[in-house]
């Protein structure tokens, strides 16, 4: 990264994420080319602004007339140019784009810093030119940009995720796709996502700073392999973490991974213990895996911050509560809340004598049709409880599914009981969602049915409430650990929840 004399402004980022119109430079009629795929994806995702494909030949691509010269774009009609043209032609292209009022360019073209000495020179020239033109340049060698509030899918890869509150920036384009896949699978969506490519002009922390300002984004999620100026990265990261949670996953944390990162993004090896301490100090949540990172971000996006570390487990039955108690006990700084006496006494009046009388609350299958929501609400409302992990959802929905799909349905009373089971699941998960809103405490629902049977009524209920359905209680506990750690970091510094 050469020089920080030029600084992007919010206007530059809005030109990227909320453009009035988009020029696709190097648009192609060949469906195998990036210049086709980018245009295709912009059109099918439902972008509402004007789209201007440009190429040497003109004609029509996907029903849109192509311009042979960017000069033919009406002045002020576009804010963003998505660049798929060869590196050597890009300086002239950017000058012409700037003359049309375009303030942001996403450069998908390769042949820059990743391509030897000549490429590095071309990249430095590009950065200098962009500064002269007062233009935000993202990439080069990136996969694209997503902005769901604008229905913008300007990327050379799939998919297009649902709208949500997570802002993503990645030093690896394919991880943007991975996060988008998790968004589709979980229903917890994304506000903006950008592949930083070679990060010639702007890098991860520039986007994090924009996300902190962005009214569409509540939590930032970043994949990094290396940082250029560590001290400045730390200070800027810390300022962002004071405003919104930041989830980081770092590639190259081990010696083997660091060698791979050196050949992937050219990142220098970092002492991982230093990087880890830097994250702790800055308040950034560090996840070990891409999956854990998405789940942490999805939890920040859909649950309130817990005020403290005391977790209560509410389970309908079985060993789920036991293994979850183990997971909580192993996950600093979480604590398994000792069962408060007054809560035990109150639950004694609601549950049969064989209930666990402890945390985990195991209702031991003795419930009436109102027991589960009643016990969950009573437990969650107790003032000593900071967060709840809710287990055993979907059993009735699973029975209902088998009965509905079996050959005896709808006779023998099956139609009625299936409808009852599914209604009950919707009640339980609805109750959990209402308690989150009422109490401002996280209630995390975990069941492997999230993966095994996503059409289960309980899983659907969790997702329709806009929340993440955790595929295992261990994963819910890991995510909750990140929330409690961040909450503690804020409170110890007087930042409030």
> What is the nearest approach in angstroms of other proteins to the Cβ of residue 199?
16
Asked whether position 332 contacts other proteins by CB under 8 A, the answer is yes
Q: Which is nearer to other proteins, 227 or 432 (CB)?
A: 227
Asked whether position 280 contacts other proteins by CB under 8 A, the answer is yes
> What is the nearest approach in angstroms of other proteins to the Cβ of residue 268?
7
Q: Which two tokens stand for residue 408?
A: 């005896």
Q: Which is nearer to other proteins, 336 or 347 (CB)?
A: 336
DSSP letter at 267 equals: P
Q: Which is nearer to other proteins, 174 or 329 (CB)?
A: 329
Among 13, 210, 234, 470, binds other proteins (CB under 8 A): 234
> What is the nearest approach in angstroms of other proteins to the Cβ of residue 331?
13
Among 231, 256, 407, 411, binds other proteins (CB under 8 A): 231
Stretch that binds other proteins, among 128-136, 230-238, 430-438, 450-458 (CB under 8 A): 230-238
Q: How far is CA 313 from CA 104, 368, 392, 409, in A?
A: 49, 20, 11, 35
123: Cα within 13 Å, side-chain hemisphere: 27
Asked whether position 270 contacts other proteins by CB under 8 A, the answer is yes
Nearest one of 104, 296, 288, 285 to 210, comparing CA atoms? 104
> What is the nearest approach in angstroms of other proteins to the Cβ of residue 8?
23
Asked whether position 333 contacts other proteins by CB under 8 A, the answer is yes
Nearest one of 103, 136, 140, 135 to 124, comparing CA atoms? 140
Q: Which two tokens stand for residue 249?
A: 């996953």
How many Å apart are CA 217 and CA 14, to the nearest integer? 13
Asked whether position 207 contacts other proteins by CB under 8 A, the answer is no
32: Cα within 13 Å, side-chain hemisphere: 0
Asked whether position 455 contacts other proteins by CB under 8 A, the answer is no
Q: Which is nearer to other proteins, 39 or 279 (CB)?
A: 279
- H-assigned helices in 144-248: 173-186, 204-213, 230-241
> What is the nearest approach in angstroms of other proteins to the Cβ of residue 275?
8
Nearest one of 139, 130, 133, 272 to 207, comparing CA atoms? 139
Asked whether position 288 contacts other proteins by CB under 8 A, the answer is no
> What is the nearest approach in angstroms of other proteins to the Cβ of residue 2?
18
How many Å apart are CA 69 and CA 475, to the nearest integer? 52
Asked whether position 354 contacts other proteins by CB under 8 A, the answer is no
Would you report the helix, strand and coil content of the chain in percent, each value rounded to 5? 45, 15, 40
Among 149, 230, 304, 454, binds other proteins (CB under 8 A): 230
Asked whether position 256 contacts other proteins by CB under 8 A, the answer is no
How many Å apart are CA 202 and CA 278, to the nearest integer? 21
Stretch that binds other proteins, among 71-79, 223-231, 240-248, 394-402 (CB under 8 A): 223-231
Asked whether position 273 contacts other proteins by CB under 8 A, the answer is yes
Q: Which residue ranges make up the site for other proteins (CB under 8 A)? A: 227, 230-231, 234, 268, 270-271, 273-278, 280-281, 332-333, 489, 492-493
């Amino acid at each position: 990264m050469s020089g920080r004399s030029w600084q992007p402004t919010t206007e530059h980022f809005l030109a990227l994420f909320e453009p009035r119109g988009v020029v696709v430079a190097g648009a192609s009629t060949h469906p195998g080319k990036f210049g086709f795929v980018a245009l295709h994806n912009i059109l099918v995702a439902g972008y509402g602004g004007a789209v201007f494909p440009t190429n040497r030949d003109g004609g029509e691509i996907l029903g849109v007339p192509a311009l042979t010269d960017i000069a033919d774009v009406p002045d002020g009609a576009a804010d963003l140019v998505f660049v798929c043209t060869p590196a050597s032609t890009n300086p002239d292209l950017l000058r012409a784009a700037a003359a049309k009022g375009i303030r942001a360019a996403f450069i998908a073209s390769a042949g820059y810093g990743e391509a030897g000495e000549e490429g590095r020179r071309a990249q430095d020239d590009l950065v200098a030119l962009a500064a002269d033109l007062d233009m935000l340049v993202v990439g080069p060698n990136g996969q694209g940009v997503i902005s769901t509030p604008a229905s913008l899918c300007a990327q050379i890869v799939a998919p297009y995720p649902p709208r949500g509150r997570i802002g993503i920036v990645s030093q690896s384009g394919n991880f943007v796709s991975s996060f988008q896949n998790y968004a589709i699978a979980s229903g917890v969506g994304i506000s903006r996502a950008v592949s930083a490519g070679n990060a010639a002009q702007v890098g991860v922390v520039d986007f994090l700073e924009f996300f902190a300002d962005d009214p569409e984004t509540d939590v930032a999620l970043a994949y990094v392999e290396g940082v250029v100026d560590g001290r400045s990265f730390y200070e800027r990261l810390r300022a962002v973490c004071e405003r919104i949670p930041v989830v980081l996953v770092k590639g190259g944390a081990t010696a083997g991974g660091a060698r791979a990162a050196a050949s992937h993004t050219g990142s220098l090896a970092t002492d991982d213990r230093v990087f880890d301490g830097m994250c702790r100090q800055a308040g950034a949540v560090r996840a070990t895996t891409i999956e854990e990172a998405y789940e942490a971000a999805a939890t920040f996006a859909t649950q309130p911050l817990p005020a403290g570390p005391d977790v209560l487990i509410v389970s309908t039955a079985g060993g789920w509560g036991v293994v979850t108690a183990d997971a909580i006990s192993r996950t600093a700084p979480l604590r398994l809340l000792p069962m408060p006496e007054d809560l035990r006494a109150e639950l004694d009046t609601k549950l049969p004598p064989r209930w666990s009388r402890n945390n985990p609350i195991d209702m031991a299958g003795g419930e009436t049709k109102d027991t589960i929501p009643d016990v969950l609400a009573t437990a969650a409302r107790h003032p000593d409880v900071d967060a709840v992990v809710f287990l055993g959802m979907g059993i009735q929905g699973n029975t209902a599914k088998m009965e509905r799909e079996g050959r005896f349905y709808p006779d023998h009373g099956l139609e009625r009981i299936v409808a009852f089971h599914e209604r009950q699941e919707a009640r339980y998960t609805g109750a959990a969602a209402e308690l989150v809103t009422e109490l401002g405490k996280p209630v995390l629902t975990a069941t492997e049915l999230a993966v095994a049977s996503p059409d289960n009524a309980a899983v659907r209920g969790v997702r329709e409430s806009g929340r993440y359905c955790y595929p295992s209680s261990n994963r819910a506990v890991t995510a909750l650990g990140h929330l409690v750690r961040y909450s503690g970091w804020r409170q110890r510094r007087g930042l409030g929840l």
